[in-house]
């Protein structure tokens, strides 16, 4: 991760997701300094003050400040939560094109101030925008991470755990592919407490149907939450804090993120959701899961969904 040994983080974008991330980060005491940049400076000042007042109860002191791009010079990570929302009548391609331009502008300002750390991108569509950040930054691909399917996988694990009334930490399962409608569950390698879902389906004829319903609920959870409260924020905020902790503390843990593929799963030159080893270097290694034939087909289709738009935007 460049030459930095500190744990300062710069957050760009203090909307619902950015503030939820900041709140989670301060509560966990992962970093010494969190500098936040946002175009709404009045609201930002209020959020910074509010967060600092809660540091008293955090496990360690985090200094939260209103940041500028100059803060990127000695930052270990820059976390991007900024971006435009889709407007009525606007196509997905138009939204992607607009957000790519926003990413290019942000990255230009970050790199102009001597940033030499790791980017973490949460702005949507995250796989394509992570690719845009990587291209614009000129950094090695392992130092640009997207939030990918970290939230989708967390939702899936939670819903599976509710079925058996056990802790989600005892559920080992991944959602991979696009962070979006074409994502897929890797049922073939999923297990609950060491017992594979495949084994359980052999013993219970109705099990596969329940598992598929859980995946559908996982995939559509964002729509349900947005319909109820306008946006998703807490789950992804905590997921971003988890990735940050893995980097800052050099944990070398496997997390489902948007990572750059170079032949894994038969895919080249794309950021897409997959498990990867996350440590101080960023993405240390992509973990290529052993997929069954049906999963391979679905992953390929998910990649093609992303690649079609990527080709139109980036050529």
Q: Is there a binding annotation on residue 172? A: yes
pLDDT at 201: 80
Asked whether residue 126 falls in the same domain as residue 192, the answer is no
Asked whether residue 300 falls in the same domain as residue 153, the answer is yes
Q: Is there a binding annotation on residue 83? A: yes
Asked whether residue 91 falls in the same domain as residue 225, the answer is no
Asked whether residue 153 falls in the same domain as residue 250, the answer is yes
Asked whether residue 209 falls in the same domain as residue 112, the answer is no
Q: Is residue 1 part of a domain?
A: no
- Residues annotated as catalytic (active site), given as ranges: 179
Please determine, for residue 4, whether its predicted confidence score (pLDDT) is greater than 60: no
Q: Is residue 2 part of a domain?
A: no
Query: For the whole model, what pTM was predicted?
Result: 0.96
Range of the domain at 122: 8-146
From 87, 115, 146, give the residue that closes a domain: 146
pLDDT, tens digit, 9 for 90 and up, residues 198-244: 888 877 888 889 999 999 999 999 989 989 998 899 999 999 999 99
Asked whether residue 305 falls in the same domain as residue 289, the answer is yes
pLDDT, tens digit, 9 for 90 and up, residues 72-91: 999 999 999 999 887 777 77
Asked whether residue 82 falls in the same domain as residue 109, the answer is yes
pLDDT, tens digit, 9 for 90 and up, residues 149-163: 999 999 999 999 999
Parallel, antiparallel or unpaired: strands 184-185 and 118-121: unpaired
pLDDT at 5: 55
Question: What percent of the chain stands above pLDDT 90?
Answer: 88
pLDDT at 199: 84
pLDDT, tens digit, 9 for 90 and up, residues 259-280: 999 999 999 999 999 999 999 9
User: CA-CA distance, 10 to 217, in Å (whole number)?
Assistant: 34
- Cα–Cα separations (whole angstroms), residue 289 to 142, 187, 298: 19, 11, 14
Q: Is residue 297 part of a domain?
A: yes
Asked whether residue 127 falls in the same domain as residue 185, the answer is no
Q: Is there a binding annotation on residue 256? A: no
């Amino acid at each position: 991760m460049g030459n930095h040994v500190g744990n300062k983080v710069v957050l760009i974008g203090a909307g619902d997701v950015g503030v939820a991330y900041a709140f989670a980060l301060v509560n966990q005491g992962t970093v010494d300094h969190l500098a936040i940049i946002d175009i709404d400076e009045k609201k930002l000042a209020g959020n910074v003050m509010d967060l600092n007042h809660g540091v008293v109860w955090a496990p360690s002191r985090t200094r939260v400040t209103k940041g500028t791009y100059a803060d990127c010079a000695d930052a270990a990570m820059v976390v991007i939560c900024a971006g435009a929302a889709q407007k009525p009548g606007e196509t997905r391609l138009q939204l992607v094109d607009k957000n790519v331009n926003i990413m290019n502008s942000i990255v230009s300002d970050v790199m102009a101030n001597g940033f030499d750390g790791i980017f973490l991108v949460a702005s949507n569509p995250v796989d394509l925008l992570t690719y845009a950040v990587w291209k614009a930054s000129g950094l090695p691909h392992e130092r640009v991470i997207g939030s990918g399917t970290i939230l989708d996988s967390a939702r899936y694990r939670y819903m599976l755990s509710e079925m058996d009334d056990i802790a989600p930490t005892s559920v080992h399962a991944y959602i991979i592919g696009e962070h979006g409608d074409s994502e897929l569950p890797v049922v073939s390698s999923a297990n609950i407490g060491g017992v594979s879902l495949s084994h359980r389906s052999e013993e219970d004829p109705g099990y596969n149907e329940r598992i598929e319903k859980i995946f559908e609920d996982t995939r559509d959870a964002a729509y349900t939450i947005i319909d109820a409260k306008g946006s998703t924020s807490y789950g992804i905020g905590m997921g971003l804090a988890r990735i940050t902790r893995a980097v800052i503390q050099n944990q070398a843990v496997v997390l489902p993120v948007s990572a750059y593929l170079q032949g894994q799963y038969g895919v080249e030159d794309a950021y897409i959701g997959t498990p990867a080893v996350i440590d101080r270097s960023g993405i240390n290694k992509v973990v290529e899961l052993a997929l069954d034939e049906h999963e391979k087909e679905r992953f390929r289709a998910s990649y093609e969904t992303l690649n079609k738009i990527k080709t139109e935007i980036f050529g």
